[in-house]
Amino acid sequence: MRRSEFERAVAAEFGPRASALLVDLALPGVGDRTAAQAIAAGVPPRDVWLALCAEADVPLDRRYGAGRLEPRRS
């Protein structure tokens, strides 16, 4: 997962509260850091996304492939 995919996935899943979750919610899956701190420390975006999903109880079917753009149609 690229950083841009992470950002799209967070915005799509959490909507208006996305920015607050990124800076306020401590995630045990990434060393009790916030998502923003973990990204800044170099934790891969996919690991941060999965930790955020686990902490926020996002259903499994919405965790994988999130943030990816639809392929362009010719």
Q: What is the pTM of this model?
A: 0.86
Instruction: Name the residue among 33, 36, 29 with its Cα closest to residue 58.
Output: 29
pLDDT range class, residue 51, cuts 50, 70, 90:
very high
**Does the structure show a pLDDT above 70 at 30?**
yes
**pLDDT mean over 1-14:** 92
**Does the structure show a pLDDT above 90 at 65?**
no
Domain boundaries, the chain: 3-62
**Does the structure show a pLDDT above 90 at 54?**
yes
Kindly report the backbone phi and psi dihedral angles of residue 45, in degrees, each rounded to the nearest multiple of 5, phi listed first.
-55, -35
**Does the structure show a pLDDT above 90 at 69?**
no
